[in-house]
């Protein structure tokens, strides 16, 4: 079934926070953060609970809208009208409200006409859950075009007195427009070749954050066993990718969730692939949870690195514990 990413967009808040700035707030150093994670800097809202101006109705909705608008603008330049987008899925674990869903506000603000709109919550694997869900809807013929957004305002959750978690995350949003309309085929047989999602809920305690909305302010601190998450990713992501490929030729690009540069290196090594097939931007944005993959896709699209007919693997992993992947011909 023909399915193609025809447009992308992204957004990060203006405020840049370097490792040195964090070292002024807690017992850490630029050297420790860079060597353990590859992160140099991240973008964070100053105080997401006191958002003003364009963010007044909430930083998650506004971030998603800016990224979404940029993706729709690119789609319009290629000849797809916004009124043709019938499905809007937002992946986030940091919504502005328990309800209504982020996607409902986003679809309204972006002027989509009567779309199906809903959120999916699978933390760092959320974007893959959204992408695979949208691809299934498109292949069923129920919708022709979908706007998929991964957005997380992690600064809502970060405890700046916990150096083991607060240095890892950033705020951001990435969006893409996926189409099954064959008028965009342009010769290449783009489509999803295989998609997978996996969870092991028995290990949910390794990475968790109970909602302060529902359980009181004390409940919002993030709990993470960093080493266990690291080992899970390094062991399971290569397995997932091997299963996705199932004997198919090596893809040109491995677009992985950006959690730690050392995880990318370890996965590349296990798959016996060179690092230049693993594009990365974790050094500039840190881990933006559901936004990492679409943020990276947007950079690759704008740099002209997503070539029609190339194959790519996208893979996410994180809280759940969960894993998601897709093998895609671009």
Which residue numbers are catalytic? 124, 257, 287
Instruction: List binders of ligand COA among 74-93 (CB under 6 A).
Output: none
Among 170, 318, 320, 324, binds ligand COA (CB under 6 A): 318
Give residue number: closest CB to ligand COA.
226
Spatial CA neighbour of 126 closest among 324, 299, 282: 324
- Using the minimum distance from each CB to ligand COA, give the nearer residue, 9 or 320: 320
Among 7, 124, 128, 151, binds ligand COA (CB under 6 A): 124
From 27-35, 71-79, 86-94, 106-114, give the range in contact with ligand COA by CB under 6 A: 27-35
From 100-108, 139-147, 159-167, 185-193, give the range in contact with ligand COA by CB under 6 A: 159-167
CA 20 vs CA 17, 46, 97, 272, 287: distances in Å: 8, 17, 33, 35, 17
From 25-33, 76-84, 269-277, 300-308, give the range in contact with ligand COA by CB under 6 A: 25-33
Using left for φ > 0, alpha for ψ between -120 and 50, and beta otherwise, residue 137 falls in alpha
Indicate whether 163 belongs to the interface with ligand COA (CB under 6 A): yes
Distance of closest approach, residue 207 Cβ to ligand COA, in angstroms = 6
Residues near ligand COA (CB under 6 A), total: 19
Spatial CA neighbour of 90 closest among 290, 298, 242, 255: 290
Among 32, 118, 184, 278, binds ligand COA (CB under 6 A): 32
Among 10, 145, 258, 287, binds ligand COA (CB under 6 A): 287
Whether 258 and 314 have beta carbons less than 8 Å apart is answered as: no
Whether 285 and 152 have beta carbons less than 8 Å apart is answered as: no
Distance CA 16, CA 258 (A): 18
Among 136, 210, 220, 226, binds ligand COA (CB under 6 A): 226
Whether 125 and 318 have beta carbons less than 8 Å apart is answered as: yes
Helical residues (DSSP H) of 42-125, grouped into ranges = 59-77, 102-109
Is the dihedral angle over the CA atoms 325, 303, 278, 329 positive or is it negative?
A: positive
Residues at the contact surface with ligand COA, assessed by CB under 6 A: 28, 32-33, 36-37, 124, 163-164, 167-168, 224, 226-227, 229-230, 259-260, 287, 318
């Amino acid at each position: 079934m023909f399915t193609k990413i025809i447009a992308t967009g992204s957004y990060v808040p203006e405020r840049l926070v370097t490792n040195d700035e964090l070292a002024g707030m807690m017992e850490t150093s630029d050297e420790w953060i860079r060597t353990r994670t590859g992160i140099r800097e991240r973008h964070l809202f100053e105080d997401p609970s006191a958002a003003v101006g364009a963010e007044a109705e909430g930083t998650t909705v506004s971030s998603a809208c800016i990224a979404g608008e940029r993706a729709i603008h690119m789609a319009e330049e290629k000849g797809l009208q916004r009124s043709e987008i019938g499905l809007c899925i937002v992946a986030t674990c940091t919504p502005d409200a328990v309800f209504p869903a982020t996607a409902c506000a986003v679809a309204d603000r972006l002027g989509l006409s009567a779309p199906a709109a809903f959120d999916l919550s699978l933390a760092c694997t959320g974007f893959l859950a959204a992408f695979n869900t949208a691809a299934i809807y498109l292949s069923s013929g129920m919708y022709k075009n979908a706007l998929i957004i991964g957005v997380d305002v992690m600064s809502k959750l970060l405890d700046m007195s916990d150096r083991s978690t607060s240095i890892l995350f950033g705020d951001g949003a990435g969006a893409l427009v996926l189409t099954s309309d064959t008028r965009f085929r342009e010769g290449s047989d783009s489509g999803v070749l295989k998609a997978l999602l996996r969870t092991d809920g028995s290990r949910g305690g390794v990475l968790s954050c109970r909602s302060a909305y529902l359980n009181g302010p004390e409940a919002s601190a993030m709990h993470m066993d960093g080493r266990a998450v690291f080992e899970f990713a390094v062991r399971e992501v290569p397995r997932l990718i091997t299963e996705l490929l199932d004997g198919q030729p090596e893809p040109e690009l491995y677009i992985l969730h950006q959690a730690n540069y050392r995880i990318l290196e370890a996965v590349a090594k296990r798959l016996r692939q060179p690092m230049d097939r693993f594009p990365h931007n974790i050094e500039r944005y840190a881990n933006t949870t559901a936004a990492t993959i679409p943020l990276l896709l947007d950079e690759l699209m704008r740099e002209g690195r997503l070539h029609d007919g190339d194959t790519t693997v996208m893979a996410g992993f994180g809280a759940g514990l969960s894993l998601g992947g897709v093998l895609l011909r671009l």
